[in-house]
Amino acid sequence: MDYWYEIVKSYQNLVIESGSGSDQYVYSESSAIIILMYSAFGEVYAYGISVDFKGAEEVKKLARSSALIYPSKTSKLLHKMKKDGLLIFDREEKVEGRIRKYYRINPRIIQSPIRNGTYFKSDGSAFEIPLDLIEKFLAWLENSNKEDAGSKEFVEALSASHQYDYITFLEFLNDRAKEWEKATDADLKTTPEPKLSQLIEEYKAIIFDRSRPPSDNSVAIEEKGGKGKRKRHTQSPEHDRIPNDNRQHTSELKEAIRHWIDNFYEPCQDYPAKSIDRGSSVITACESHHLFTDLAKHLPVLGSNICEGWDGYKMELAKLDELKESLFSSLRGGILKCFEGMNLRFIYDDENHLRDYECRLNPLSLYNVVMDLLLGQEGYDNHDRFLSWLQVNAPIIEKDDHVLWGETITYLMVPKKDRALLEAGVSRFMTFVEDIPSSEFSRIAVDIRAKVDSLKPERDRILSELKRTLSYSNFPGKCEYMN
């Protein structure tokens, strides 16, 4: 989950290539912050920004912010900020034969320190400025400055000696919020409490604390002494307010999450010869903790969509199992068809002594041959070697009152009376194996690998989010175990 201040900071020395790829535009953190502050006065577009900033000498002095005086470079930055959620695309219109795209500030960047979800303090309480309050404030900013050219005054007030970062942006909004509250003092009785300026001040404090949920139940206190400052840790007031039963239940919920993580194995293309290796078994193992279902009542309140992601992942994992079973069953049916007329039985343990009609060339052997074809030339070479081995080392021979297919390794044994059936079956089987590269089996193999490739990053995302939730000291949300 990204934090807004980290997103803005990532713009330092940001390189964006032009559409042709022949040029690169380099930006700075201050470029993004100046755009955010400027957009608080209303909708913005690249050409309008470049016109206002072109006459501002201080902007030209700011490192890499001089790109804002060029419409094409500014357009690239606006598109990037929209992609990162800092701005919202508002509309576009045709002006003098050119398409002009308008953007506005995303109110959510001053609602919560994080981009997706809500910030939670260590006591489990949510920090979130009411969105309707922010929207009213931004509307006031825009309307109150249209006539007195507030945006132009802002540009003129920029200073090359000032550091423009996310805190600067918040301080700017905080000062304007105080103006708004003063101007609308008569209406403050209907305004949600606390005041917007107080909320922004609290937000700033969170940002200064790096916006991270604490890894333990302590807070850092700076003490002066010696040559500098040192930090000691003490129990946070929020921690003291968490009831013991809530802390205990949170600890148990974390155990359920760790159990989930420990059993969340990576998907693969291999056929699950044992039922424990099937996707359904992985799901069962992950959900086997007695508090697993209770997590759905707490994780969403933390701003996490793990539960929804998990439901989707389970559906896709079931589809992967179906694809594997489809390939395995098709190969099994193909082998049985080759040896029709025999009551063929497959064995998967090489140590077993063969009995009549038991076959060591089972569907799993061919499954691996088919999947190896995805390796490219190496897979095709393996297929050819497998076929050549059978042709050279698996003759049909008689032994006592039986006929055997294979000498070094016996693949199938039948009574002498079924020799003709065995010979016909072996001939059909060799053709069957030879045709595998051009058969429908290869298509199913491609689908299996594609499904595995799509599941792996989703699993990584869910695991990352699960590990992140372990950093919280308390899980808010109501359930039968805690109120």
Alpha carbon 310 to chain centroid, angstroms: 12
pTM of this structure: 0.52
Domains of the chain, residue spans: 4-208, 244-323+462-469, 326-443
Q: Could you tell me the pLDDT band of residue 145, with boundaries at 50, 70 and 90? A: low
User: Whole-angstrom Cα distance, residue 460 to residue 267?
Assistant: 11
Give pLDDT tens digits for 430-447: 999 999 999 999 999 999
Q: In this structure, is the dihedral angle defined by the CA atoms of residues 406, 408, 414 and 415, taken in order, positive or negative?
A: positive
SS3 assignment, position 232: strand
Verify cis geometry, omega within 30 degrees of 0, for the bond prior to 214.
Answer: no
**pLDDT attached to residue 234:** 38
Give pLDDT tens digits for 13-29: 777 665 544 445 667 88
Residue the block writes with tokens 């008569």 = 186
Residue 43 neighbours by CB distance under 10 Å: 15
**pLDDT attached to residue 197:** 84
Q: Mean pLDDT throughout 108-133?
A: 78
Q: Mean pLDDT throughout 262-287?
A: 86
The DSSP code for 126 is E
Give pLDDT tens digits for 407-431: 888 889 999 999 999 999 999 999 9
Residue 396: in which H helix or E strand, if any?
strand 396-399
**pLDDT attached to residue 55:** 65
CB 184 within 8 A of CB 89: no
User: Whole-angstrom Cα distance, residue 244 to residue 482?
Assistant: 10
**pLDDT attached to residue 43:** 87
User: Whole-angstrom Cα distance, residue 54 to residue 155?
Assistant: 10
Q: Could you tell me the pLDDT band of residue 328, with boundaries at 50, 70 and 90? A: very high
How far apart, in Å, do the first and last CA atoms of the chain sit? 27
CB 403 within 8 A of CB 418: yes
User: Whole-angstrom Cα distance, residue 143 to residue 96?
Assistant: 27
Q: Mean pLDDT throughout 316-340?
A: 94
Best-predicted range by mean pLDDT among 66-70, 185-189, 274-278, 365-369?
Answer: 365-369
Q: At what angle do helices 363-372 and 306-338 cross, to 10 degrees?
A: 120
- More reliable by pLDDT, 229 or 39: 39
**pLDDT attached to residue 227:** 39
Q: Angle at CA 469, nearest 5°, toward 468 and 472? A: 110
Strands 402-405 and 15-17: unpaired
Cα–Cα distance list, 426 to 36, 369, 403, 438 (Å) = 74, 18, 12, 20
Give pLDDT tens digits for 250-265: 888 989 999 999 999 8
Q: What is the DSSP string of 261-281?
A: HHT-PPP-SS--SSGGGSHHH
Residue 325 half-sphere exposure toward CB, CA atoms < 13 A: 12
* Percent of the chain topping pLDDT 90: 29
CA neighbor of 480 nearest in space, from 298, 287, 240: 298
pLDDT greater than 90 at residue 367: yes
The DSSP code for 96 is T
Residue the block writes with tokens 């063929």 = 344
User: Whole-angstrom Cα distance, residue 236 to residue 220?
Assistant: 9
Q: Could you tell me the pLDDT band of residue 212, with boundaries at 50, 70 and 90? A: very low
Mean pLDDT computed over every residue of the chain: 80
CB 77 within 8 A of CB 31: yes
**pLDDT attached to residue 315:** 94
CA neighbor of 430 nearest in space, from 357, 339, 349: 339
**pLDDT attached to residue 144:** 67
SS3 assignment, position 407: coil
Q: In this structure, is the dihedral angle defined by the CA atoms of residues 53, 57, 62 and 66, taken in order, positive or negative?
A: positive
pLDDT greater than 90 at residue 324: yes
User: Whole-angstrom Cα distance, residue 335 to residue 312?
Assistant: 35
